[in-house]
Copies of this chain bind each other. A is one copy, B any other.
Amino acid sequence: MRSAGIREVARLSGVSIATVSRVFNDAASVRPDTQQRVLEQAAALGYEPSSLGRNLVRGRSELLGLIVPNVSFPLYGQMIGGIEDVLGHRGMSMLLASSHDDAVSELTAAQKVLRHAVDGGVVINTQSDVALPAPRGMNWVHISPEHSGLPYRVELDNAAGGRLAAREFLRLGRRHLAYIGAPGRESSERQHGFAGELSRAGLDYRRAQGDYSELSGTQAADDLLEKSSVLDAVFVAGDLMAAGVLRALHMRGLRVPGEVAVIGFDDAALASLLYPRLTSIRQPAYAMGAAAAELSLRLIGGHSAESVVFSPELVRRESTGPP
């Protein structure tokens, strides 16, 4: 049993369906008493215009497609929060699908979302290097490290993050530095900024590589500590890996920040819960999500829009300090 439709309301209030429609759209052009009659009937029948019908004729869905690698990663959750808040104000909703960090699922997710005729889309950390399919007039906005040829992007200035870390270590008088990276462009940009700032100060640094996991952080730190006995500061490409680094240092009885200072990246919720609380390069995830949504909304409205670059910020906590 379908719920009441526009016809029913029209019939019972003695007007045409066109008038009912008008009442729910540009109420201005309908006489107050007619309007009220319709509204009353509508309320009595529990009628609400169906967006299905409306969207069909308007060719819009008031939906924004959102593709996320993995919903349970808190940083992405923050981005989604930013997107949602922006959309909420404009009456749009969010269709969510996961890419599971995998190009094939990402494509599947995109198709799934497109079938619902979304007006626009945001994809976080795209996995494929070709553009996602999009019908004419629909655009994907990417929250990703720069990707060749993608027109609409919201990104973080990763190199600036590296510079922030380097400067902080220098300021604290650290001289025996290391970087623990991971595969991918983001990490290499962070490293690039870090290295640049150090070379300006005439310093070199040691390197190790992980994969953003906690365990890999522990292993990378162990490697580093075996090779170079002198090490008083480590910059880590992600907070989770940094957790592993803290553990490695603790196991070896090295005091943080007394003997070794540590700076992570992202400033995930986790950072402030570790012991010692982790100094980290903050990625403004909520704001980045909001910016992506704004960008998409502009595009949907047919306006021009430009990519945005966000600057990271150093959040000082217990894992850094004077030697």
- Cβ contacts under 8 Å, A77 to chain B: 70-74, 77
**A218 vs chain B, min Cβ distance (A):** 11
Instruction: Say whether A46 contacts B133, CB under 8 Å.
Output: yes
Per-residue 0/1 for A152-188: is the Cβ within 8 Å of any B Cβ (1 yes, 0 no)? 0000000000000000000000000000000000000
Instruction: Say whether B93 contacts A94, CB under 8 Å.
Output: no
Q: How far is the CA of A269 from the CA of B70 in the complex (A)?
A: 14
Per-residue 0/1 for A90-106: is the Cβ within 8 Å of any B Cβ (1 yes, 0 no)? 01011111100000000
Instruction: Say whether B136 contacts A2, CB under 8 Å.
Output: yes
Pick the 3 closest A-B CB pairs, nearest first.
A72-B77, A3-B135, A71-B77
When the two chains form the complex, which single residue of B51, B112, B117, B247 contacts A115, counting CB atoms closer than 8 Å?
B51
Per-residue 0/1 for A56-67: is the Cβ within 8 Å of any B Cβ (1 yes, 0 no)? 100101110010
- Cβ contacts under 8 Å, A206 to chain B: none
Q: How far is the CA of A117 from the CA of B5 in the complex (A)?
A: 12
Q: Can you offer 13 A-B residue contacts whose CB atoms are under 8 A?
A: A2-B59, A46-B135, A48-B115, A62-B116, A71-B81, A71-B84, A72-B74, A81-B98, A91-B112, A93-B113, A96-B96, A273-B274, A275-B275
A residues lining the B interface (CB < 8 Å)? 1-3, 46, 48-53, 55-56, 59, 61-63, 66, 70-74, 77-78, 80-81, 84, 88, 91, 93-98, 111-117, 133, 135-137, 214, 240, 243, 246-247, 250, 269-270, 272-275
- Cβ contacts under 8 Å, A2 to chain B: 59, 135-137
Given known A3-B135, A94-B95, contact A116–B243 (CB-CB < 8 A): no
- Cβ contacts under 8 Å, A88 to chain B: 112
- Other 14 A-B pairs with CB < 8 A, given A71-B80, A273-B273: A51-B116, A52-B117, A53-B56, A63-B116, A70-B77, A72-B81, A93-B96, A93-B112, A94-B97, A246-B275, A250-B275, A270-B270, A274-B275, A275-B275
